Structure 1
C-alpha cells in the first residue's frame, strides 16, 4: 500500500473514562479512580441496570455496565447514584467548549456524549506541536472537570480511534499515537475481528466464513472477493485494515451513515397481555417512523424483538419481515409488527421491546400505487404531526394508547436518554 498519497493530519480522539460515574464522582467529591461507584438507572427498582461503574467497582466487586441492582453487594465502600442526564449533557457541552477554545467548531466532531474527534492540523503556530497540544487538552479536561480521559492520535480519524481503543485505554498515561507505519505491527494481529471499530459480530461471522479471522487476514484478502461478497462495505473494510480513511472531521462520518432506524425500550414493569404490549408497540412505531420521515428515508425490512420477563424464565424472539414496498408510515410499520407478534407471542409477560426498519432508501423513490390512493395523504398527515411535536413538544399530539395505563410516551417525555433529568 502506497501511504505517500494518503493524508497525514493531526487528529486526536478523546474519550472520557467512565463518563457517567466520573460526573457523579465530581458532584460527590469522590475520586472515580479509587472509589467503588456505580450509576444505576433507578435505585427504587431492584431489576434496574448499572449504566456505568468505576474501575474499582469493576475490579473489586465485579460490577459492570449491565449488572442488575439486586446483584450489587451490600457493602459500605460502595457508592450508588441515579443518573442526572441533564448534568451529563451539560458537562459534555462544557468539554466541547473547551475543545473549541483550541480549534474552530468545524474541526470538532462530537461522536457521542463522552467522545470527540479534534483536528489539530494547522494549530502549530498557535499552540505548538500537535501531540503536545493533545496532551495539554487531556490534562486540562482533568484539571477543569475532574474527568479522567484517554487520547488516541493518528493521521486520520480511523487510526486515531484505533490508537485510543487498542492501546491508549490500556496504558497508564492514557495516551497513544499511531501512524501508517504502525498498522502492520499494531493493527494486523488484532483478533477477533469484532474488536476492531466498525466490525460487528454479524460481519465478523461472515468474514470468518471465508477464512478471515484477523485484521491482517483482511488486509491481505482479495479485494475483488470482498467487494463481490460485501459490496461497497467490502472495499471499506479492506482499506480500513490498511489504516486508510479519507473522511474528514466535520464532514462525512467514519463509518457509513444511518443503515436503520430503531428503538428499544425496557418496560417499567412486566406487561402481561397482548393489548398492553400493542399499546407500547404503537408508540414505538410512531417514534421510529417519525425519525425516518425527518430524514426522508423509507425502509423495506421491519424487525420486532420481544424479551420476556425473567419472572417467566426470560427468553424471547426477534423476527424480521421484508415488505414489497418500502415505507415510513407509522400504521404500516405497526401492522407488520402486529403480524409478527401474533405469530410468535406465547402469552408470557414482556419486559423489553425493540422495533427497527432497515433496507433504507430515499423517500423520493416512493411510487404511486393504484391500490393505495391515500398513501401521500397519510405521509402529509404524518409530517404535520411531526412538525407539531417538533415545535410544541413530543407530547403535544399523542395517540389514544398513550393515555392508557400501558402507554409510556408521557412518562418518558420527562426523561433524557430514557433516564431522569
Structure 2
C-alpha cells in the first residue's frame, strides 16, 4: 500500500478545449460548435488527407474523428469540411491563456499543447473559491467570450488531473470532475484496456498483456522489481502512475527525463526512390538541429524512424545510434541518419519519416576536438542561419534539394504548425 499522506496534495486543473480546431472553425462560420457537423482536414485537394479535428456531433453520429481520412467522410449536405487556419487557432489559444491569468499568476499556468493547459490554483482558492468553482468560472468565461466549449479535470497532481479529465470530466454533463487519491481504487484501477490510461500506448499495452496485466489495478499490484527489469525506469513510472502518483513540477514534462527534439512527417505522396528519401531526411535534420539550437542544447543519441506505405502492407523500422560528441549541427545529424537509413532500409516505398535527437546536454558543454578544428565554425554557422531565418522567415534560406520534386521544406515554409494559416 502507498501512504498518500506523505505526498503533495495540490489542486491542479487540466483544462481541455473541446475539439478545438473544429470548434474555432465553427464559431468563425457562425455555427454552434456542439451541434454542427464540421471537420477540419489538412488538404481538401487530397482524398487521403488526415482529419485534424471533428466537431462532437460529427464524431458521435458519423464516427469521424481525429486521424480519419477525408475519403471516410460521408457525402452528406449537413457536413462541412474546411481547411485549418492555424494562425487563428494559435491566436485564440493565446487569448484563452490570458483568461487563466485572471485567476492565477503566469507561473501557475503550464500550456501543455495548443488546446490543453494545467493550472495550479492552490494560491487562488481563498480569493475565488474552491477548485471546482474556479474551473466553473474559467469555463463560463471561455464560453461567454469565445463561444468555445471546454472541460476540466481536477486532481492533486498533473497526472491525476489529466486522468480525471480523460476518464470522467469529458463524459460528465457539467464538463468538470475532480479526483482525489481516495478515488484511485474505484475510478482508476478498473480502467481496461490499458491504452485508455494516459501514457500507455498500444505497444506497451501489448507487452503488459503478455505479462498477465489487463487492468490498471493489476498493474498497481504487480511486482515493481519485475516491471523495472522489463521496462527500466519506465517500469517504475508505470507502477506509480497506476497508484496515481506523479511528483512532476508544474511546467515539467509529466514523464521526467524524456526531453528530446524531434520532427515527424507524413509525406504528401509515396517516395519510391532512395535518393528522394535522403533529400527529405536532410531537410528534417536541419529542422531538428534548429530546434535544439533554439534551446541552446545538443544531443548524443540520434533516432531515425521510417514508415512504409500501406500499399505495401505498412511496417518500417525505428533505430537509434549514440555518438561520442554531442551535436546540434545539421550535417552531423544527417550523417548519422544516413548510416541508419543505409543499414536498415529494405527498398520499400516510404510514406512517413521521424527523426529525434536525445541524450540532451547544454550547448555550453560542447568541447572542441583537436582533430576537427572546423567543428566550432560549423556550429556557429548553424546559429547564423537560424538568425537569418528568424528575421526573414523560414523560407529565406533553403538548401538546393528543397527545390527538387522530393523536397518538402519550400512548401512547409508557408505553413503554421504544419498546416495552412
Same fold (TM over 0.5): yes
3-state DSSP of counterpart to 2:164 = helix
- Residues 1:171 and 2:172 aligned together: yes
- Cα distance in 1 for partners of 2:307, 2:234 equals 30
Q: Which residue of structure 1 aligns with residue 45 of structure 2? A: 44
Residue of structure 2 equivalent to 1:417:
417
SS in 2 for 1:176: strand
Go from structure 1 to structure 2 and tell me whether the alpha carbon gap of 1:49 and 1:9 turns closer, same or farther (over 3 Å shift): same
Which residues in structure 2 correspond to 1:83-102 (within 5 Å)? 83-102=84-103
Q: More displaced, 49-58 or 105-114? A: 49-58
Structure 2 vs 1, CA of residues 340 and 223 (structure 1 numbering), >3 Å: closer, same or farther? closer
Any residues of structure 2 matched to 1:337-356 within 5 Å, and which? 337-343=337-343, 345=345, 350-356=350-356
User: CA deviation digits over 1:233-287, x for unaligned, max 9?
Assistant: 33333322222223332x4332224444321223334444333322222101111
Larger CA deviation: 219-228 vs 36-45: 219-228
Query: Do 2:302 and 2:355's aligned partners in 1 also have CA atoms closer than 8 Å?
Result: no
After TM superposition, give the deviation of residue 348 of structure 1 in Å: 5.7
C-alpha separation in 2, matches of 1:342 and 1:115: 39
SS of the counterpart of 2:122? Answer: coil
Alignment of 1:258-277 (within 5 A): 258-277=258-277
TM-score normalised by L of structure 2: 0.89
Long gaps (5+) in structure 1: none
Q: Give the 3-state SS of the residue equivalent to 2:143 in structure 1.
A: helix
CA deviations on 1:281-315 (whole Å, 9 max, x unpaired) are 2101111122234442313242231333x5x5452
The answer (yes or no) to whether the contact 1:152–1:160 under 8 Å persists in 2 is yes
Report the Cα distance in structure 1 between the residues aligned to 2:21 and 2:350, rounded to whole angstroms.
29
Per-residue Cα deviation, 1:308-327 (whole angstroms, up to 9, x for no partner): 3x5x5452522414245254
CA RMSD of aligned residues (A): 2.6
Question: Separation in 1 of the partners of 2:199 and 2:140?
Answer: 29
Match of 2:215 in 1: 214
The answer as to 2:363 corresponding to 1:385 is no
Inter-CA distance 62–383: structure 2 relative to 1 (3 Å threshold): same
Cα distance change of structure 1 residues 63 and 200 upon mapping to structure 2, 3 Å threshold: closer
Q: CA deviation at 1:26?
A: 0.5
SS at match of 2:33: coil
1:407 matches 2:412 = no
Per-residue displacement from partner, 1:335-371 (whole Å, max 9, x unpaired)? 3333444455566654433223345556567666676
Aligned equivalent of 1:154? 155
Residues 18-37 of structure 1 mapped to structure 2, 5 A cutoff: 18-37=19-38
Structure 2 CA distance for aligned equivalents of residues 321 and 224 of structure 1: 27
Measure the CA separation in 2 of the matches of 1:85 and 1:259: 25
TM-score (norm 1): 0.89
Equivalent-residue separation in structure 1 for 2:82 and 2:344 (angstroms):
38
Separation in 1 of the partners of 2:13 and 2:374?
A: 51
Aligned residues: 418
Partners of 2:285 and 2:98 in 1: CA distance: 36
Alpha carbons 1:19, 1:114 under 8 Å: kept: yes
Match of residue 121 from structure 1: 122
Structure 2 counterparts to residues 13-412 of structure 1, below 5 A? 13-249=14-250, 251-295=251-295, 296-308=297-309, 312-313=311-312, 315-325=314-324, 327-328=326-327, 329-343=329-343, 345=345, 350-360=350-360, 372=372, 374-412=374-412
Select between 350-359 and 92-101 the one with higher mean Cα deviation: 350-359
Whole-angstrom distance in 2 between the partners of 1:290 and 1:209: 40
Rounded Cα–Cα distance in structure 2 between residues aligned with 1:226 and 1:270: 40
Cα offsets for 1:25-79 (capped at 9, x unmatched): 1011112222211111111222211111112212322322222222222111111
Give the 3 Å change call, closer, same or farther, for CA 146–11 of structure 1 in structure 2: same
Structure 2 distance, partners of 1:317, 1:229, is 24
Q: Note closer, same or farther for the CA distance 1:122–1:346 as it changes in structure 2 (3 Å cut).
A: closer
